[in-house]
Every structure is written in C-alpha cells, then in structure tokens.
Chains A and B, each alone.
Chain A
Amino acid sequence: MKKKILFILLSVLSFMFSKAQDSTQKQIQSLQDEISMLKKPLKTHFMIRGFAQFGFDASDDNVNFNMTSFNPVLLWRQGDRFLFETELEMEYMTNQLSVNLGYANASYMITKGLIVKFGKILIPFGSFGEKLHPSWVNKCATMPLGIGHDGLVPMNDIGIEIKGGLQLGSSKLSYALYAVNGPTIKDGTVEPTEAGMLAFDNAIDNNKNKAIGGRIAFLPFQNSSLEIGLSGYYGKPGSSVSPFATDSMSVIRDLNYKTVTALLTAVDISYVKMISEIGGVIDIKGQYTMSEVSKASYINPTDTTRMPYSFNNSSVAYYAQLAYRPAMLENEILKNVELVGRYSVYNTPQSSLWYSNKSQITIGLNYWLTWRTVIKADYQMTTVDNGMSGMTSSSSMTGMSSMGATTSNMILLHLGIGF
C-alpha cells in the first residue's frame, strides 16, 4: 500500500516538475523572442527631446525670476532617410503662455549629398538661427543683438529647402538653398513707429512671389575645425495692394510697397578645436548680417502735415564670441567650467522711427553639469542710442544721436537644459 502511495506521489511530482520546466522553457523562449524583437532595427522611431531655460535677471532697477523658454522637440524617423522634426516654442510672459511653431518639417535624403526639406523650416541664414539657438547650445543666456524677436535675421518660415554636405578633396563644402513665403514690410498702419521694418515668419504670404535664399559654407581644414559661411536672402516684402488706397490725400494714396525689395546678406564663421597646449577647447563664433530694403515712403502719424517721409532702409547686426573650456584638466570641477565673452551690435536705419544704435558686451561663466545642462552666469552691458528719429534730414540727426546714448547693466543667472 505504502509503495503505491509513494508511486502515485512520485508520478504527480514528476508530472508537476515537467510542467514547470515546460513553462520555464516557454518563458525563456518568449523572453528571447522579445529581445530579438528589440534588437531588430525598427522601421520607425519616435523621440521627444527639447530644451528649456529659466533663471534670474537683475538689472539696475529690477530683479526678476523668469522662464525664458521651454521648447519640446519631436523627432520621428521612418527608415534611414526620412525624418520629421518639430519644435514648439513656449514662452511664459505677462502671465500668459504663448506657443509658437519653431519648425515642423519633413526631410528626405534623396541621394548621399542631397536632402530635401518641406514645411516650416529653420532658415539657414547665417549660422546662429539654424545651428546655435537652443539654450544649451547658445553659450550665453541671451541671443546676440539683431537675432531673435524683432531682429533683422530671418529665423523660420514655411517653404522648401535642399541641402547637403559634400567632400571636396580634403576640404568640405555644404550648401542649402530654399524658397519660402518671405518677409512682409510693416507699412506703419498697425505699428506706426515700425514703418519700413521687415517681419519674417509669415504663415500666409501677402503676395505671389517667394523669398529665395541660400547658404554656402566652406570647411577648408580636413579636421572640420573652421567653417566659413556665406548667406543671401532676397524677397519682395510688399503687398500688391496699397494699404492707403482709400486715403483722402492723393499723395498718401500713391504710397505703395509692391516694388520694394529686400536683400539680406551674411557672413558667419566658426572655429572650434581641442588644443592640448592650452588644455581645452577654444570656440570662436561670429556672424555679420546686412539688410538692405529699397527706399520707400511712409507716414508719420504724429506729424500733423501727414507728409510722407523716407530713409535709407539699411540695417546691420554682428556679433563675435570667444569661449574657452579647460576640458582636458584632471580637476572634476575646473574641467566643466567655461569662460565666454561676446560683443554684439545692432544698428537700424537712421531717420527711421525705429532707429537705434545698440551695442552689447556679455561676459559669462558657465558650469556644465552634463554635456547639455548648464548654469550660465552672465554680466551684460548694453548701450542703446535712440537718437532722435522720424526726420528726413540725416545731417541734423548725427549730432542728436550721440546725446541719447544710455547704458544699462544686467546680471543673469540661468539654467539651460537640453533633455
């Protein structure tokens, strides 16, 4: 009897054991399947990245905590050649969140040296807007003068672009050519003090023609340390309909901007190299931008005679930046420290209502917590000379303008995060 019970017990146990082994085998198999699934190259891949910057600014008469930017970036890759990229620019100002579309475009690599992009693109004009604007890439807490809001550099627009990088012997050449909606010209009907200013980033074009432009960059050294870029951008910013078509005065009715042209040119330079003799990375960046809008007449609403005035509509903006990071030092703290100095200038047309002569010196000390998280401590001196504007005689301006110069100082302590 005992033997029988033992036999039954043993067979039940062995049955259970074989079942358990079976299920372990199955589990191992399904884990292996899952791993091989994960290892298999995906056809599509989605990523959320982006950047943010916030901090604290202290000027001569104000101390402020601020949230400068929060820009989520979404990337979606299909296969090896197709990429969709989009960036939302979120800004929290005057207790309101404003959301702007930085870029949203699809790009496809047609051949090895040719990528086509379509949608809202970052305009490859100069190097700052397209390549250096994120808060963790820009080494200073602020953008150089003339770039960004109310600047003279087109940052983004809707259109089509072709671009690529090619090797030329031991040098490299890159190109980008594009056609976009283009700028509009402020005719002064909405913001009278900005008459003659160009506005970029137009979801709906005000005319039939498109702005065209391009950037060619040359990297003469085989180690790619030096890059010199030349950019051009040409467009007709005026609407074909006169904004003053119904005015009672014939001299004003005749004002028209449809023949106005805008030509922007820029030279940019970048030199970045790890130099063992100085124990770190030296980073030089610069951009010189000129804007030339053909002459037109505008009305000054504060002028009771309502006589149109005009001015030479040319502006210039430039910056030069030098940074050094002793990245080769053994010391864990010092090797993450970076010194940066930037000088930038933005001059708008004399005799326009928006005339100003601005220059700025920024001196910064950065501490890199990770490769894309940085604490930026900047001291910034800005000199603004608004002169006396709105007059047509430029000779009477010259004397006045130097009287209006004011200098303001600012301390900025910001955290820049790339995530």
Chain B
Amino acid sequence: MIKIKYIFGIVISIFTVIIILQSCTAQKAMIANKSGAQLWGENCLRCHNTPTPTDFNDEEWKTIGLHMQDRANLTNVEATKIVEFLCSAN
C-alpha cells in the first residue's frame, strides 16, 4: 500500500508540472482556432442534450458555464468561448 502512496505522489507531481507548463505556454492552436459555437456543438452533448442559447440569460449562462467547466472538466478557453457564444446568441 506504500506503493500506492508513491504512485499518487508521482501522479500529483506530474500534474503540478503540467499545470505550471500549461499556464506558461500560449494557448494551443486547436481550441484557439475553434469558435465558441463549434465548441458548444462538440462539448455540450457529451452528457446530456445540448441546450440552446435562448434557454437562459447572460447571467444564468455565466453561472452554468462555471458549473459545467467543473462537471465536464472543460479547459478555461473552452468554457469562456462557449459562454461568450451563448451570451451573444440568446
């Protein structure tokens, strides 16, 4: 069982390194090139049917955006772009 603690230790260290690298590097091309509408179309149907922009108002979308960023482990760029799109099209 000591082994497991080591494995978790290693996993935590790897992730810490990744997080630091991630926040230092510029946003990667792939997601940066996608529009909010496309990211909404690709991500919001993974667990449930996709809501349409008119379902909620801007403030509600911001709250839902934060909630879904947590539930779906969205990257911050994805969440921001999707919320911007939903707020612009409602």
**Residues of A bordering B, CB below 8 Å:** 41-42, 45, 47, 75, 77, 80-81, 83, 85, 107, 109, 111-115, 117, 130-132, 136-137, 163-167, 169-170, 172-177, 212, 214, 216-217, 222-225, 227, 232, 234, 261, 263, 270, 272, 274, 281, 368, 371-372, 418
- What residue of chain A has the Cβ atom nearest to residue B74's Cβ? A165
Measured between beta carbons, the chain A residues less than 8 angstroms from B27 are 167
Q: Is the CB of A132 within 8 A of B47?
A: yes
Q: Mark B46-75, 1 if CB is under 8 A from A, else 0.
A: 111111100100111011101101111111
Measured between beta carbons, the chain B residues less than 8 angstroms from A107 are 66, 70
Q: Is the CB of B11 within 8 A of A272?
A: no
Kindly state the separation between the CA atoms of A104 and B14 in the bound complex, as whole angstroms: 29
Measured between beta carbons, the chain A residues less than 8 angstroms from B67 are 75, 83, 85
CB within 8 Å for A166 and B70 given contacts A216-B11, A224-B46, A274-B45: no
Measured between beta carbons, the chain B residues less than 8 angstroms from A223 are 42
B89 to chain A: closest CB distance in Å? 16
- What residue of chain B has the Cβ atom nearest to residue A271's Cβ? B46
Q: Is the CB of B49 within 8 A of A166?
A: no
Q: Is the CB of B22 within 8 A of A166?
A: yes
Known: A165-B73, A172-B75. 16 other contacts (CB 8 A): A41-B62, A45-B60, A77-B63, A80-B66, A83-B66, A131-B72, A163-B73, A165-B75, A165-B78, A167-B31, A167-B77, A225-B46, A234-B8, A263-B4, A371-B48, A372-B49
Q: Is the CB of B42 within 8 A of A227?
A: no
Q: Is the CB of A371 within 8 A of B75?
A: no
Q: Which of the residues A75, A77, A175, A263 comes within 8 Å of B15, measured between beta carbons? A: A175
Q: Is the CB of B8 within 8 A of A371?
A: no
For this complex, 12 residue pairs linking A to B, each with C-beta atoms less than 8 Å apart, are A45-B59, A107-B66, A114-B19, A131-B71, A136-B48, A167-B27, A177-B8, A214-B11, A222-B30, A272-B45, A371-B50, A371-B52
Kindly state the separation between the CA atoms of A261 and B71 in the bound complex, as whole angstroms: 29
Q: Is the CB of A113 within 8 A of B75?
A: yes
Q: Which of the residues B23, B51, B72 comes within 8 Å of A113, measured between beta carbons? A: B23
CB within 8 Å for A83 and B47 given contacts A41-B59, A175-B15: no
**Residues of B bordering A, CB below 8 Å:** 1, 4, 7-8, 11-12, 15, 18-19, 22-23, 27-28, 30-31, 41-43, 45-52, 55, 58-60, 62-64, 66-67, 69-78
A319 to chain B: closest CB distance in Å? 16
Q: Is the CB of A83 within 8 A of B19?
A: no
Q: Is the CB of B48 within 8 A of A137?
A: yes
Kindly state the separation between the CA atoms of A163 and B66 in the bound complex, as whole angstroms: 13
A419 to chain B: closest CB distance in Å? 12
Q: Which of the residues B7, B52, B63 comes within 8 Å of A45, measured between beta carbons? A: B63
Measured between beta carbons, the chain B residues less than 8 angstroms from A131 are 47, 71-72
Measured between beta carbons, the chain B residues less than 8 angstroms from A174 are 73
Measured between beta carbons, the chain B residues less than 8 angstroms from A81 are 66
- What residue of chain A has the Cβ atom nearest to residue B31's Cβ? A167
Measured between beta carbons, the chain A residues less than 8 angstroms from B66 are 77, 80-81, 83, 107, 109
Measured between beta carbons, the chain A residues less than 8 angstroms from B73 are 163-165, 174-176, 217
Measured between beta carbons, the chain A residues less than 8 angstroms from B43 are 224
Q: Is the CB of B70 within 8 A of A115?
A: yes
Measured between beta carbons, the chain B residues less than 8 angstroms from A130 are 71
- What residue of chain A has the Cβ atom nearest to residue B76's Cβ? A112
Measured between beta carbons, the chain B residues less than 8 angstroms from A222 are 30
- What residue of chain B has the Cβ atom nearest to residue A270's Cβ? B46
Measured between beta carbons, the chain B residues less than 8 angstroms from A83 are 63, 66-67, 70
Q: Is the CB of A177 within 8 A of B12?
A: yes
Kindly state the separation between the CA atoms of A75 and B60 in the bound complex, as whole angstroms: 10
Kindly state the separation between the CA atoms of A80 and B72 in the bound complex, as whole angstroms: 17
Cβ-closest 9 pairs across A and B: A174-B73, A112-B76, A165-B73, A371-B49, A77-B63, A165-B75, A170-B30, A137-B48, A83-B66
- What residue of chain B has the Cβ atom nearest to residue A85's Cβ? B67
Most B CB atoms within 10 A — which of A114, A117, A270? Answer: A114
- What residue of chain A has the Cβ atom nearest to residue B27's Cβ? A167
Q: Is the CB of A371 within 8 A of B51?
A: yes
Q: Is the CB of B47 within 8 A of A137?
A: yes
B54 to chain A: closest CB distance in Å? 11
Q: Which of the residues B15, B42, B72 comes within 8 Å of A177, measured between beta carbons? A: B15
Q: Is the CB of B74 within 8 A of A169?
A: no
CB within 8 Å for A164 and B48 given contacts A83-B63, A131-B71: no
Kindly state the separation between the CA atoms of A172 and B72 in the bound complex, as whole angstroms: 12
Measured between beta carbons, the chain A residues less than 8 angstroms from B48 are 136-137, 371-372, 418
- What residue of chain B has the Cβ atom nearest to residue A122's Cβ? B71
Q: Is the CB of B11 within 8 A of A166?
A: no
A217 to chain B: closest CB distance in Å? 7
